[in-house]
Structure 1
Amino acid sequence: MNNLVSILLFLSAELSQGLALMCLQCVNVIQPRHCHGITYCAENEVCFVEKVVSSDGIRYNSGCMLNDVCVRQNSTGSVTAYTDGVTQTITCTECCQSDLCNSKGCGEPGLPINRGPVCLGCTQIRNASACQTITYCRESEVCHITEIAEFGDRIFSTGCIHSQLCSSFASRPFAIQELSSWHNITRSQPVLPFSTVPTTTTDPVTTTNTTRVQTHTHHTRPTHRHSVTASPIGVVVVGRRLVEKRSVGCNQCCSGDLCNYECSTGGPTQQSVENSSPWSISSSAAPELVTRPHIFSTQSSVSSLTTPSKGPFNVQGTAGKEFLLAFSKHENGNDADNITLLFTSTQNGHLSIYLPENNAYINTTITKGDNLIELDPHITLKGLQKENKSVHIVTDVNVTLHVQEYRNVFDTGYLVLPSHCLAKKYIVSTESAFDGANPSYVTVAALKDNTEISFILSISENDTIEYNGKSYSDGDTINVTLDQYQTFQLASVTDFTGTVVHSSKPVSVLSGNTATVVPKPIDSSKIFDAQTLTQMIPPVKFLGQNFIIPKLQDRHSFYYKIIASSPNTHVTVEDKYITLPNEGSFQVFESLHGRSVNISSDKPVLVVQVPKTMQSHFDTASGAMILTPSVEQFKSEYAVIVPDPPKRNLQTQYRSYISIITESNEVDNINIDGRKYDTYNSNLQTVHLKDKVYSVITMQMDAPGLHEVTSVSGHPFGIITYGFDFAQGYGYPVGLKC
């Protein structure tokens, strides 16, 4: 035991000697926080700030100072110093012992809480970590580093750049500690850069003759490596690739103070990550030259880089580690104003997003809870052509992914199915196009090369689709072959409901409308605003046979569709009995007076709920297209994300809701954020399905962000989330079994 204690004490001493204090270093600045120089202190030195009164007025000096000298000067009060023949009165000296702590002092404030990152800011240096000039970035900016090879030399430049111009990110949450470690120094003779040392003293209380010395010390990196657990870097914007005119060895962004001390080609933090897993960005070339779309395998072991959470909440079913999706246009062929990916996770972990269109990717970290990432909205598909416009996402921990697309306000949202939920057969739903400018669409994205796709068309009577010089009508088949990450979108001013998608390998399928109103208006010129509808469609193999469609707040009625996945499907709808004769056959019903609906069938069906067009003082506006989860897809716990969209104007307010469907004898076991559902403002409606009684709990969700909805007994239940303002809406199932 004594030997162990000795070893630990030795290691502690070694680690403490491995870190140098990083301080701001300036002379004659108007405030300490406006200093743009840094230095690293030797042993027995601390950071200091001096308030100086001279012919220039009140100014401030900062840097490193011997601890005992700083303490003595701090307790002395007013000190007169003579520097380069100029008399200065030091009216305040303050000492501190943490990195960059002397950005404040002597009554002056430090760096503001709401700010952009502090970044290294040097041009044409051989070693980025040797940069001793900093710059303060705007809140819209991140740190940036570039490396070019010129005449055999590696030359670095560092500074700030707008986040939307970044094509790759590195996560270095402990940058300051790393720099301090590399710059550890021990001076044989005490040197006090930009500070005051008493050489001769006539009166230690009032007058000090001072010599100021500026030094530059060469620092070497220690040989040890640090094992780092990454922390979040906040919102990441993935933009279109900006291709460099010249070859560069590195062109990289990062978020966090002084994180741009190196490219991903080396250094303790990055090397540790590279040795542990393939999370780091390729060091052999600039990001735009990377040719392999896979950044890492979801099977990779990265357990040393993640910190599992201890909480009991464990989302299953539609949680996964790999996702593939694509995005469509919005009203009148416009892109969304904003595309937001919302990840929920029970663990800290890592995330990689790949955009094959321009071979761009991004690596970042995620934390337990909800994580928001914004994508460049100009990645939308064009109809009836092959494109490389999918978005491939992989993580090393299970996450649930929701998409929110904004145009003016929250325009559409949906649950993204992970790759283990994908399959080879789908039945889709769309709505009728309400004018000639806003088509319905069916989008397919391929996970593997050589994926053969067949679309067996179900389109409105007398409508046709022109593709590759051929005209296709209802019942015809369009065949395409896609390679990995390629996309294809059927798009036409028709209704594709009931179209069957077959593929030779698993694919992602999304369907909806770029914009529409429900029902289709007689005169589209009188429509004030139309709604984008998008849902990611579950495969036929995961469809169910028993459904309860919940009532919707803020809507007096809604339509719903029942679509057959197999021929000769018999369906019971309330007290009606229908037969859907063919694969893709469907019927549309209307629920009046806000009543919930029960449905059962002898074969799996797809059920879609569509809120009826809402009347408003601005004329008409549409709602949403909501996939109804079957009872077979119910789970016992969910992570609900309530959006906080901007207001369209002062007269509007977006209201968000959840509807919970559970067996009536399980109602008292439903908890929301750890509290029973009836502690919130809610209402309850009873529905019979076969021999069971169900309850539909409807609640308005006033608090944006992540909410956990669970069953204390572990009994499965269903849940959808939805919301409306006067003109737009969204809705989707929060989770499914697959």
Structure 2
Amino acid sequence: MTFCEQVCGLEKFLDSYGDGRYKLGCYRQAACDPRKRLLSLTTTTSGSGPGKTNCAKCCSADVCNSNGCGETDPFQQSSKVCYNCDGNLRGDVCRKISFCKTNEMCYIQEGLRQGELFYDSGCIDSHVCVSIHAPVIGRRDLETFYKHVFLKRSDQNLRCCPGHLCNKDYGSLPTQKPGGQHSFPPPTSIVYTHSPHISVCKSGKQCYNDGICQSSTCICPDGIFGDHCEYTDIRGTSFILVFPQTTYPDCQLPQALIGTSQNGVFHKFSFYSHFNTSTQFSPNLFTTDFNKSATMASDGKFLRGVELTFSSKVSLYAMTSCSKSGDRFSEGYMAIPTNFLSTKYIIPLYKLYSATAAYGSLIVIAAIKPNTMINIYKKQNGVTSTYMNIILRPYETYQMSSVNDLSGTLITSTDPIAVVSGHVASYITAGGVNPLMEMVLPTDQWDRVYVIPHIAQRPSKFVRIYSNQSTNVTIHYQDKIESKSILERNFIDFDHSMVSYLNANNDVMVMVFPKGLADSSGDSFMMTVPGINQYLSAYEFAVPSGFNNFISITTLFNAVDGFILDGNPMHHENGSHIFGGTNHYSTFTMPIHSGVHRISHKDNVRFGLWVYGNGPKDGYGYPAGMAFRSNTK
């Protein structure tokens, strides 16, 4: 929206194809005649060629050139038109507007971030303004929910008004006084979105995953969410697991952990023997071990890995462990169901402690369809390197290693593949050596906004951000805000302590690498960080034995209370807090015992959840789950 010093104008013209087009803007007062028509009509040019103006008008009221020349005034179609800006500082001019629904009013809200006042404005449900002293907002989607819920709920910082564009200036609107004609009743508890999740569908966009578009709004089934019902949880019934080479292949003990509250049967298919076995699973029978033939011992093509098929949806985690010479070596990852595997990946790794094979970078690829062509565009230590391609048969697994950091390597394929990356062993700052491994997210499952959680007993961590295409990223960490650029298929690192926030203008992938502990009570590991749009409202997850285990949670500041673990209210100590954009987030940790658990929030809030553990000269970590975009092609 443009602010005019004199008058607004509207011209309608026909392009060279005879289609009607419109030009709106500012005009000099002298361009208007007494009947509010524009004078000196001239030939106008559009993207499809020149055209002749056949209607024009001018006017002097706010957004008055929104109708005329045969167009219906959207002010009459919608109950309100409001200024809609996020995070404007004092003195900033809001130049965006929103057309509100019939049950909405305009609002402007004042907040304080890092000592500076800022203002949010837009449309808000009318009952929020007229029914409560401390506004209660149940937002339809995650983005607008985050936009509002963190602000202090008081009549001193949220002001509503009923007119068009009435929320331009915070200071011009009165504050409602308790007990007055327009007073609000006492504050009530915050209300969050419940299923079915509701979100706005934009013109020309459809609703996915059986969502129904009603009045330009996607109404999503339970467990489905997003602007267009494009997200679903990552639980599945079929998984491919592969295990990269470690320091002692003969000692490696691969296993899977099954996160579910259900009982059922799963089938275990060995790539090596082609032998299929059936086993029961339940919350008490939640682990299954594999033969060493499931693990990689060297580079090349092999039939190494397993396929697991379940009778109902589960969360699945792969673990590897080894005890040798008084040392332990463990690591784990969250498995991606086969229906979410894809054809494009960027490899996440970390710098090598030593440029030797003992600490080498690893990439393992598994195919599930015949004659799958794999294209590998290598990067080594941030520099574009060689290209190679291979053909894999069903259940054939390929491992490649390097004494260089392969971060940013691009892998594409003709059919969906499973990709795991890691290190034979890693040593980050202190502690002992430990393998690293993580199942890689496809590039179509990245996000743009992330909160990095606090990790218990790990005061210092490295975070690495990976790009698919060139992007700019803003990072809030350690009381600093920095903006950085990342080139295509590249990465940047930063030190993370208690809580960090980042947002990028293109999708990125984020990994956290906790540093080892000097007293050898915990080694380094590698863990995926899902973005805030990938949070779930409930998780069923599994925790391994043999570690001091913890969970970390990230959520909105006003939602830190109300979590329910295994049917009981959770009790946790104070967490860490951070402002990101116009949002206020919190992160906290708590110990947890091995076994299968379920965690949710009494108000159905979506939140991030990670599982990790420490042991003498050992450590592991993985996200408990996440949302994936699905059925959007």
Give me the TM-score of the superposition, normalised by structure 2: 0.59
Give me the TM-score of the superposition, normalised by structure 1: 0.51
The higher-RCO structure (CA 8 Å, 6+ apart) is 2
| Equivalent position of 1:589 in the other structure | 494
| Equivalent position of 2:605 in the other structure | 715
CA distance in 2, matches of 1:432, 1:624: 13
1:705 corresponds to 2:595: yes
Greater per-residue strand proportion? 2
CA distance in 1, matches of 2:322, 2:259: 23
| Equivalent position of 1:572 in the other structure | 474
1:365 corresponds to 2:305: no
Q: Which among 357, 375, 385 is matched to residue 454 of structure 1?
A: 375
CA distance in 1, matches of 2:535, 2:428: 28
| Equivalent position of 1:731 in the other structure | 621
Q: Tell me the secondary structure at the aligned position of residue 533 of structure 1.
A: strand
* Structure 2 unmatched runs, 5+: 1-221, 225-230, 629-633
Counterparts in 2 of 1:179-328, with a 5 A limit?
317-328=233-244
Q: CA 1:663–1:345 in 2, change beyond 3 Å: closer, same or farther? A: same
Q: Tell me the secondary structure at the aligned position of residue 375 of structure 2.
A: strand
Q: Tell me the secondary structure at the aligned position of residue 476 of structure 1.
A: strand
| Equivalent position of 1:669 in the other structure | 562
Q: Which among 419, 422, 435 is matched to residue 532 of structure 1?
A: 435
CA distance in 1, matches of 2:367, 2:484: 36
Q: Tell me the secondary structure at the aligned position of residue 434 of structure 1.
A: coil
Q: CA 1:727–1:735 in 2, change beyond 3 Å: closer, same or farther? A: same
Query: For residue 587 of structure 1, what is the amino acid of its counterpart?
Result: I
Query: For residue 359 of structure 2, what is the amino acid of its counterpart?
Result: N
CA distance in 1, matches of 2:606, 2:541: 16
Query: For residue 374 of structure 2, what is the amino acid of its counterpart?
Result: I
Q: CA deviation at 1:579?
A: 1.1
| Equivalent position of 1:513 in the other structure | 423
The Cα offsets for residues 439-462 of structure 1, whole Å up to 9 and x where unpaired, read as 21011101111111111111127x
Q: Tell me the secondary structure at the aligned position of residue 617 of structure 2.
A: coil
Q: CA deviation at 1:383?
A: 3.9
| Equivalent position of 2:78 in the other structure | none
1:690 corresponds to 2:581: yes
Q: Tell me the secondary structure at the aligned position of residue 345 of structure 2.
A: strand
* Structure 1 unmatched runs, 5+: 1-311, 462-472, 520-526, 646-653
| Equivalent position of 2:337 in the other structure | 418
Q: Do 2:243 and 2:320's aligned partners in 1 also have CA atoms closer than 8 Å?
A: no
CA distance in 1, matches of 2:431, 2:601: 42
Query: For residue 571 of structure 1, what is the amino acid of its counterpart?
Result: V
Q: Which among 356, 363, 383 is matched to residue 442 of structure 1?
A: 363
Q: CA 1:669–1:313 in 2, change beyond 3 Å: closer, same or farther? A: farther
CA distance in 2, matches of 1:576, 1:588: 12
Query: For residue 615 of structure 2, what is the amino acid of its counterpart?
Result: D
Query: For residue 621 of structure 2, what is the amino acid of its counterpart?
Result: G
| Equivalent position of 1:104 in the other structure | none
CA distance in 2, matches of 1:579, 1:327: 34
The Cα offsets for residues 322-365 of structure 1, whole Å up to 9 and x where unpaired, read as 1112112222x434442221112343322111112222221122
Q: CA deviation at 1:602?
A: 1.0
1:432 corresponds to 2:363: no
| Equivalent position of 1:391 in the other structure | 306
1:628 corresponds to 2:529: yes
CA distance in 2, matches of 1:540, 1:485: 23
**4+ residue runs of structure 1 moved beyond 3 angstroms?**
312-316
| Equivalent position of 1:381 in the other structure | 296
The Cα offsets for residues 20-74 of structure 1, whole Å up to 9 and x where unpaired, read as xxxxxxxxxxxxxxxxxxxxxxxxxxxxxxxxxxxxxxxxxxxxxxxxxxxxxxx
Query: For residue 360 of structure 1, what is the amino acid of its counterpart?
Result: F
CA distance in 1, matches of 2:515, 2:397: 31
| Equivalent position of 2:386 in the other structure | 476
Q: Which among 370, 385, 402 is matched to residue 492 of structure 1?
A: 402
Query: For residue 595 of structure 1, what is the amino acid of its counterpart?
Result: M
Query: For residue 704 of structure 1, what is the amino acid of its counterpart?
Result: S
Q: CA 1:580–1:313 in 2, change beyond 3 Å: closer, same or farther? A: closer
Q: Tell me the secondary structure at the aligned position of residue 385 of structure 2.
A: coil
| Equivalent position of 2:59 in the other structure | none
Query: Rg bigger for which structure?
Result: 1
Aligned residues: 391
| Equivalent position of 1:347 in the other structure | 262
Counterparts in 2 of 1:67-78, with a 5 A limit?
none
Q: CA deviation at 1:504?
A: 0.9
Q: Which among 478, 496, 514 is matched to residue 611 of structure 1?
A: 514
The Cα offsets for residues 263-285 of structure 1, whole Å up to 9 and x where unpaired, read as xxxxxxxxxxxxxxxxxxxxxxx
Q: Tell me the secondary structure at the aligned position of residue 406 of structure 2.
A: coil
Q: Do 1:329 and 1:336's aligned partners in 2 also have CA atoms closer than 8 Å?
A: no
1:404 corresponds to 2:319: yes
Query: For residue 445 of structure 1, what is the amino acid of its counterpart?
Result: A
CA distance in 2, matches of 1:675, 1:655: 21
CA distance in 2, matches of 1:370, 1:426: 33
CA distance in 2, matches of 1:570, 1:578: 6
Report sequence identity in percent: 25
The Cα offsets for residues 235-273 of structure 1, whole Å up to 9 and x where unpaired, read as xxxxxxxxxxxxxxxxxxxxxxxxxxxxxxxxxxxxxxx
Q: Do 1:624 and 1:731's aligned partners in 2 also have CA atoms closer than 8 Å?
A: yes
The Cα offsets for residues 283-331 of structure 1, whole Å up to 9 and x where unpaired, read as xxxxxxxxxxxxxxxxxxxxxxxxxxxxx99996121111112112222
1:642 corresponds to 2:543: yes
Q: Do 2:375 and 2:390's aligned partners in 1 also have CA atoms closer than 8 Å?
A: yes
Q: Do 1:683 and 1:699's aligned partners in 2 also have CA atoms closer than 8 Å?
A: no
The Cα offsets for residues 459-507 of structure 1, whole Å up to 9 and x where unpaired, read as 127xxxxxxxxxxx84321211111111111112221111111111111
Query: For residue 239 of structure 2, what is the amino acid of its counterpart?
Result: F
CA distance in 2, matches of 1:557, 1:363: 43
CA distance in 1, matches of 2:310, 2:596: 20
Q: CA RMSD in A?
A: 2.3
Q: CA deviation at 1:531?
A: 0.6
Q: Tell me the secondary structure at the aligned position of residue 458 of structure 1.
A: strand
Q: Do 1:548 and 1:630's aligned partners in 2 also have CA atoms closer than 8 Å?
A: yes
CA distance in 1, matches of 2:443, 2:223: 29
